[in-house]
Amino acid sequence: MCPEDHSSAELERLRAEAALAEAELRAAEARARLAAAEAAAARAAAPSNAAESDASEPPPDAGPRGDAAAAIPPVVAPDGQASVAPAILSPEEVQRIATAYAFPGAALDLGALVNGEPRADVQVRIPLAMLNRHGLIAGATGTGKTRTLQVLAEQLAAHGVPVFAADIKGDLSGMAVPGEASEKLTRRTVGIGQDWQPTATPVEHLALGGQGTGVPVRATVTGFGPLLLSKVLGLNRTQESSLALVFHYADEAGLPLVDLADLRAVLMHLTSDEGKDELRAIGGISSATAGVILRELVAFAESGADAFFGEPEFDVLDLLRRAADGRGIVSLLEVAGVAERPALFSTFLMYLLAELFEALPEVGDLDKPKLVFFLDEAHLLFRDASKPFLAAITQTVRLIRSKGVGVFFVTQTPKDIDADVLAQLGSRVQHQLRAFTPDDAKALRATVRTYPRSQYALERVLQELGTGEAIVTVLSEDGAPTPVAWTRLRAPQGLMDAAPAAEVERAVAGSPLLPRYGESVDRESAYEILTVKMNAAAEAAAAEDAALEQARIDAEYERQQAAIEKRAQREYDRLLKSTAGRTSTRRRTRSSTDRIVERVVGSAATTLVNGVIRGMFGTARRR
């Protein structure tokens, strides 16, 4: 094809696309006018509802929006810009949402539907019985995720359900104090139909590793396990499997791993001359790999992380307590320095969840969960995670619902969560997302694809949500997803700020958990056992060396003694020969003389020997 023909064909194609886009635009406008006319007719037929409907905004495109795989594409104007229908629902869609969220059983109130303005008569709720099907609270920084968590926690506690959450910024502690009314708060709560009353919630203040005001929460290294510890240390797959073998060796050898010093002692023993044979017996571990793990462990401990490990180990069943009035207790874990140790924080939360899975019995589906666990900053959990670690998370989340535990992941975008885990999260509360960069725009489109089809142009609506507003979909009581609803969320009834320090200190001082966990205990464990073993070996080696040295000294002494006695004997024999021809009288004299000579020679020999020995070895006189 010549260039002229190609150019002509390209122009025809562009003209066809423009004509199609213009036709789609006219069709969309016609649908909007039709929907507006239908809405006006409905308002005329039901004047009592006219004040509740917003007639100033035209209704949306009648086509379904949201799911990218099945959504109607945005209308393209002749200038090439996308034209998106406004986020106003038809009366029929409003009624469908109202019906879908009107659960007959117990439920938590999330807020009111927004259709231009809040509709106080259309409440968005989540069934209490479905909270063990897990959920997601997502949104950009500053869009209200923490307040949403607080609203859910307060209502769960009021229904007698214990709650666990990490208080990263410290402002969740305010739920232990009644909230403060204001004109702005009143306008908001009245507008969404919330009967707001300042209410305090029973709270247990905990502190990771005792680094904070709360009751210390510690874990033993054995309880933490090699898989979670490998995640914290940033080990690769080979090092991870090697660490698992070290744990196995410690267990078989009867070496309790209570704190990091214990694990360091085991690794140092295995890499020492005394432990080389045991290291080879484990199989599959090179001394170089053991050395790398040891270096990472030392650096980890020097960063202050050793405070998180020790005894008494926290019993996760203490998270399932209720107050005397029957309300569930909200356990808030204070996390000091999460920015310096993000992997430790997120992995420690996963450890608590795994411990709950191990400790709780199977209960099936209940009318309400036994515990709801909010896993904040969830993206830290999945960052650089190995396949075994991801598999462990997925299995725990999948199976723990049968133990009566619901898990809510709190993060910025759904893409932060592993796909296999995300597929198990039945309830979704998505706050505003921002698309300032190409990566942000990609994440926004990915988020839209995870929602059911709806009449919202979600890619636009998610960027227009106000603070304290969210796109919500939950699982109904029969397990089906509810329609997507733009929701203005309820306000917490507790203080929306950190509780006064004196109030927190008073609560901690009166906690029934403080006597059990307040003071650390240092019992005999691997470090002490191996220290005794190494000291005994050192003492035995020293004793052997001393015995060998003493034997050498004794041998040298005997040799010198024998040499001196031999010389003395020769001298004695010489003297005897020199006097052999004398008379008997003189023989008697000689005998006296001989005795004198013997005494003199013997004394001189002894003096000589002792002098030689002391000069050679610096030893004391032998008796």
Domains for the chain: give ranges and CATH numbers. 91-218+311-518 (3.40.50.300), 219-310+524-563 (no CATH)
Looking at 443-503, which runs of residues are DSSP E strands?
469-473, 485-489
Helices (H), 46-132: 91-100
Beta-carbon-side half-sphere exposure of residue 417 (alpha carbons within 13 Å): 31
User: Under DSSP, is residue 75 helix (H, G, I), strand (E, B) or coil?
Assistant: strand
pLDDT for res 614:
46
pLDDT for res 371:
97
Closest CA to 22 of 84, 80, 85, 78: 78
Cα–Cα distance for residue pair 152/394, rounded to 1 Å:
24
Cα–Cα distance for residue pair 461/486, rounded to 1 Å:
9
* Mean pLDDT score across all residues of the chain: 81
In degrees rounded to 5, what are phi and psi of residue 521? Answer: -120, 130
pLDDT for res 596:
52
Quickly tell me which residue has 């507003």 as its tokens.
469
Cα–Cα distance for residue pair 81/310, rounded to 1 Å:
61
Both tokens assigned to 216: 């210390």
Beta-bridge mates of residue 83: 75
pLDDT for res 58:
36
Closest CA to 493 of 190, 204, 189: 189
Give every CB contact of residue 595 below 8 A, 6+ residues apart in sequence. none
Both tokens assigned to 253: 């050898």
Annotate 336-374 with b (16+ C-beta within 10 A) or e (fewer).
bbbeebbbbbbbbbbbbbbbbbeebeeeeeeebbbbbbb
How distant, in Å, are the alpha carbons of 253, 304, 569, 596, 602 from that of 599? 66, 76, 13, 5, 5
> How many other C-beta atoms lie within 10 A of the C-beta of residue 26?
11
pLDDT for res 284:
63
pLDDT in tens, 151-177: 999 999 999 999 999 988 888 999 999
The bridge status of strand 163-167 relative to strand 371-375 is parallel
pTM of the complete model: 0.73
Which residue pairs from 236-239 have beta carbons closer than 8 angstroms and sit at least 24 positions apart in sequence?
Answer: 237/386, 237/388, 238/289, 239/289, 239/292, 239/293
Cα–Cα distance for residue pair 156/365, rounded to 1 Å:
17
Beta-bridge mates of residue 204: 331
In terms of phi and psi (left: phi > 0; alpha: psi -120 to 50; beta: otherwise), the region of 23 is alpha
| Mean pLDDT in consecutive groups of 10 residues from the start of the chain, 623 residues | 58 66 61 58 46 36 35 35 57 94 95 94 96 94 93 97 91 94 94 95 93 92 92 89 91 92 90 81 80 89 85 95 96 78 82 93 92 90 83 91 95 90 94 88 87 87 93 94 95 94 94 94 83 70 79 85 84 79 52 53 51 45 43
Q: Which helix (H) or strand (E) holds 409?
A: strand 405-411
DSSP state of 219: B
Both tokens assigned to 305: 């992380």
Looking at 73-198, which runs of residues are DSSP E strands?
75-76, 82-83, 107-115, 117-127, 135-138, 163-167
